Amino acid sequence: MVVGRIFRLRVTPEQDAALHDWAGICRAVWNTGLEQRREYRRRDGWVNYPQQARELAQAKTDPDLAWLTQAPSHVLQQTLMDLDRACRAVGTWRVRWRSKDRWSPSMRFPDGPRMRVQRLSKRWGRVNLPKLGWVKFRWTRDLDGRVRSATVNVRDGQWHVTFLVEDGILEVQPPVSDPRPAVGVDRGVKIAAALSDGRMLDQTFITAAEQDRLVRLQQRLGRQHGPRSKPSKDRQRKNPKARGRRQQPSARYLRTKKRIAAVQGKVRRRRDDWLTKTARQLVREHSLVAIENLNTKGMTRSPAAKPDPDRPGAFLANQRSQKAGLNRAILGKGWGRFALTLAHQARYTGCRIVQVLAAFTSQRCHQCSHTEAGNRESQADFRCTKCGWRGNADINAACNILAAGLAVAGRASPTPVGSVNPQAA
């Protein structure tokens, strides 16, 4: 199976500068290539990867574009290939520009087989990257396989390398008869995961001190001069058009941003670690894991603006900030990533992952199938108005998810299923 292995790089100042330059060149190649594709589309034409690659090779011979030759040519070709794939996947008009603000530097080195990776000591390894030479990285785990390609990018303000490795392990197919039990998982805002067997899995990913620090840093960032903050009075007088234009962010602003990224990175790594461990444990112990098919992207989208019918140009309150709070909570528990990790880990143990429709799982009683909003006494407590079953609301939902998952898989259910919605993802 092909898996990704991430390591933190320790680059020299020269390597750091070179990587930033190359990332800039990749960004320029991407944006130029995208503009060219859009231009062709406007005239009902189509430009493909081989043509763009040829034109890139030609552009490199132009003395005015000599800066293109600084970056390894395979990396630039790979950028065009990625662009080609993106345009085919979502359409030329929906592919994003790589803006300096939003895009975080990233580049792919395609020729993995020629890349040499060596272990230097218990803690350190190094990789030989084209034009960059040996780069050291923290050896946190063995590669266990053949390197197919490498991606170098910035995460939490530091350069990282992700090796795509063929680990030589075959995917385990779910066995016909599996003695391991099945489990339903309810992913929640309060508790990260409630299981149908009654277990609650959770961990605090951010400490109170870190929370305080984040709030303070965000407030500080708001006071400092960012790329789009209001220009000084002096600057506005000199150039009336400067208002709203991009300007150079201050050094303090950039420093605060870096500090915020450091805290957020720490929290994210802690969460990713817990998610991976939990997913591994679940797929090892169970023959089937049922989860809700939550559309994390749709749920976390900010609500649409509501125009005010009485006042043109004005907007009604759309509870944006309340939604933002829930969004933070959902993303804070890493729902989308949990499903991905489960699916990936399940390939090693032959566990089946079933996604079921999320509707009513929190309102239905798992004992008698009575479905009513009034069943839910509070966020945490569930009491069936028909049969009187009482218990934790998340555990009840997990039982419903398990029953629906078993129905999808065509297996007998240990609890009465009733009118469970047998729709799979």
Binding site for Zn ion (CB under 5 A): 365, 367-368, 370, 384, 386-387, 389
Bridge partners (DSSP) of residue 200 are 194
Handedness of CA 18, 248, 161, 171 (dihedral sign): negative
Tell which residue, 186, 234, 202, has the closest CA to residue 394.
186
Of 69 and 385, which has the nearer Cβ to Zn ion? 385
Closest by Cα among 61, 68, 87 to 26: 68
The minimum distance between CB 386 and Zn ion, in angstroms, equals 5
325 or 416: whose CB is closer to Zn ion?
416
Nearer CB in complex with Zn ion: 40/360: 360
Q: What's the min distance (Å) between Cβ of 189 and Zn ion?
A: 24
Q: Are 250 and 221 in contact (CB under 8 A)?
A: no
Query: Distance (Å, rounded) from C-alpha 289 to C-alpha 396?
Result: 16
Query: How far is it, in rounded angstroms, from Cα 318 to Cα 138?
Result: 47
Shortest distance, position 217 Cβ to Zn ion, whole Å: 48
| Nearer CB in complex with Zn ion: 211/385 | 385
Contact 272, 167 (CB under 8 A): no
User: Which C-beta is closer to Zn ion: that of 154 or that of 368?
Assistant: 368
Rounded to the nearest whole angstrom, what is the least distance from the CB of residue 380 to Zn ion in the complex?
18
**Closest CB 373 distance from Zn ion, rounded Å:** 14
Q: Determine the 3-state secondary structure of 11 from DSSP.
A: coil
For the bound state, the minimum distance from the C-beta of residue 421 to Zn ion, rounded and expressed in Å, comes to: 17
Please state the closest distance from residue 391 (CB atom) to Zn ion, in A. 10
Contact (CB, 8 A) for 82 and 108: yes
Cβ of residue 370: shortest distance to Zn ion, in angstroms? 5
DSSP bridge partners of 160: 8, 153
Mention every residue, 6+ apart, whose C-beta is less than 8 A from residue 205.
267, 270, 271, 274, 332
Phi, psi angles (nearest 5°) of residue 320: -60, -40
Residue 287 or 371: the one with the smaller Cβ distance to Zn ion is 371
Contacts 24+ apart (CB under 8 A), 357-361: 357/292, 357/293, 357/404, 357/421, 357/423, 358/292, 358/293, 358/294, 359/421, 360/400, 360/421, 361/186, 361/292, 361/397, 361/400, 361/401, 361/404
Q: How far is the CB of 416 from Zn ion (least distance, A)?
A: 10
Nearer to Zn ion, 323 or 370 (CB): 370
Helices and strands in the chain: count of H runs, count of E runs: 10, 16
32 or 367: CB nearest Zn ion: 367
Q: Of 175 and 416, which has the nearer Cβ to Zn ion?
A: 416
Contact present, 130 and 76 (Cβ < 8 Å)? no
